[in-house]
Amino acid sequence: MRRRAPSDPAHRSTPFAPLHPVPAEPGLTELTPNQRLRRLELTVTRRLDGLLHGERRGLLPGPGSEPAGSREYRPGEDEVRRMDWSVTARTTVPHVREVDADRELTTWLLVDASASMEYGTAELDKRELAVAAVATVGFLTAGTGNRLGAQVLTPYGLYRVPPRGGRTHLIGLLRALLGAPRVGGREPDVAPLPGPAELAEAMAEVRRVAHRRGLVVVVSDFLDGLPDEAGAPAAWERPLRRLTARHQVLAVEITDPRELELPDVGLITLTDPETGEHREVWTGDPRLRERYAAAAAAQRDQVRQALRRAGATHLALRTDRDWAADIARHVHAQRRLALAPAGARPGGLA
């Protein structure tokens, strides 16, 4: 069952334009989708470009080591040591193995665009911050031979964008995320994939379609499938662990400050974004605010521990913080961790 984030009267569904604190400009909220995407691209390339260059290393020297099928042997062109003896024995025709270069990266994105991701009380709502995280991954991993695919989990089901390369594909993906259907809005024209409707099922679907080893980025608030019992595994923990067994997995956790603590603003109405259920709460009670903050901290710690056990790298982003600076700090921390002696590294990824 999905654990819901509350809503308060300060909820804002702001346009995607203010990607980080900028001086007020006339007409800022009137930016077109293309202008918003251009501002996002400039933010990433000016502040983060170059951070990930040289991050990937081939597992073996030579043309590559990732199996990519077999073909018939060509005398005088192919090396005998690349012979695929099992295929040769079955077909009685000499075949050689084909491999793909490890430097060609395939990235799969799983973007949570469910109802709880539409909440926000700062410059961005959680859905908009998720798009910023996707843009960062897309622009920084773009390169010759690299491909980017995505699966988007919406209130209406799961949508898939096949992996392709190039800036045009990335811009189209970001435009689709900006226009992804919201609760109460117009239903999408394209039918979703049958079946997956929860985060755990969407992770299993990514594992099914991501055949080659690569990078998998899960962008979510990870509220879906959290158990009520302390210490019990989340519903998405096992499928995430299966993803990390083959791929490098980055889990981007999106939170809002009002999910962590309540302001002292008197009587407010909290709304469940998943079911629409309402509840009035008197925030003037300091003991209530303390219990809320303690429960929220325990919930976020539950998410962190589940991600650690699954072996995923954890990146936490908040709607009220400078997301570009947080990503830069995360990249530098991962580089220091990679350069540290094996005995000095922590047992799991943070």
pLDDT single digits (tens) 190-243: 556 665 578 999 999 999 998 888 899 999 999 888 887 777 889 999 999 999
CA-CA distances (angstroms) from residue 55 to 9, 51, 140, 338?
44, 9, 11, 10
Lowest mean per-residue pLDDT among 53-62, 184-193, 228-237, 285-294: 53-62
Binning pLDDT at 50, 70 and 90, where does residue 14 land? very low
β-strand partners of 215: 107, 248
- Is residue 147 in a domain? yes
- pLDDT score of 165 more than 50: yes
- pLDDT score of 346 more than 70: no
What is the token pair recorded at 182?
Answer: 């919201």
Question: How many angstroms separate the CA atoms of 290 and 346, rounded?
Answer: 32
80 and 168 within one domain: no
113 and 175 within one domain: yes
- Is residue 212 in a domain? yes
Select the highest-mean-pLDDT range: 116-125, 214-223, 264-273. Answer: 214-223
Angle value at C-alpha 133, between 52 and 223, nearest 5 degrees: 130
User: How much is the average pLDDT of 34-63?
Assistant: 59
Instruction: Write the DSSP symbol of residue 266.
Output: S
133 and 42 within one domain: yes
| Cβ pair 323, 126 in contact under 8 A | no
175 and 291 within one domain: yes
320 and 267 within one domain: yes
- Is residue 5 in a domain? no
- Is residue 130 in a domain? yes
152 and 93 within one domain: no
- pLDDT score of 32 more than 90: no
Instruction: Quickly count: other Cβ atoms within 10 Å of residue 168's Cβ.
Output: 9
- Is residue 6 in a domain? no
Residues of the chain above pLDDT 90, percent: 25
Average pLDDT over the chain reads 77
User: Residue 112: which CATH number?
Assistant: 3.40.50.410
Lowest mean per-residue pLDDT among 18-32, 52-66, 87-101, 203-217: 18-32
155 and 70 within one domain: no
Q: Which domain holds residue 83?
A: 66-100
Q: What is the pLDDT of residue 20?
A: 35
Which one, of 229, 235, 292, lies nearest residue 1 by Cα? 235
> What is the DSSP secondary-structure string of 299-322?
HHHHHHHHHHHHT-EEEEEETTS-
189 and 90 within one domain: no
Secondary structure class of 94 (helix, strand, coil): coil
Q: What is the pLDDT of residue 187?
A: 58
Q: Give the total number of structural domains in the chain.
A: 2
- Is residue 79 in a domain? yes
Top pLDDT among 220 and 68 is at 220
- Is residue 254 in a domain? yes
- Is residue 209 in a domain? yes
How many helical (H) and strand (E) elements, i.e. helices and strands, does the chain have? 8, 10
327 and 249 within one domain: yes
331 and 260 within one domain: yes
Question: How many angstroms separate the CA atoms of 26 and 271, rounded?
Answer: 33
What is the token pair recorded at 272?
Answer: 């469940």
> What is the value of pTM for the model shown?
0.72
256 and 135 within one domain: yes
User: How much is the average pLDDT of 80-87?
Assistant: 84
| Cβ pair 319, 124 in contact under 8 A | yes
Residues of the chain above pLDDT 70, percent: 72
321 and 180 within one domain: yes
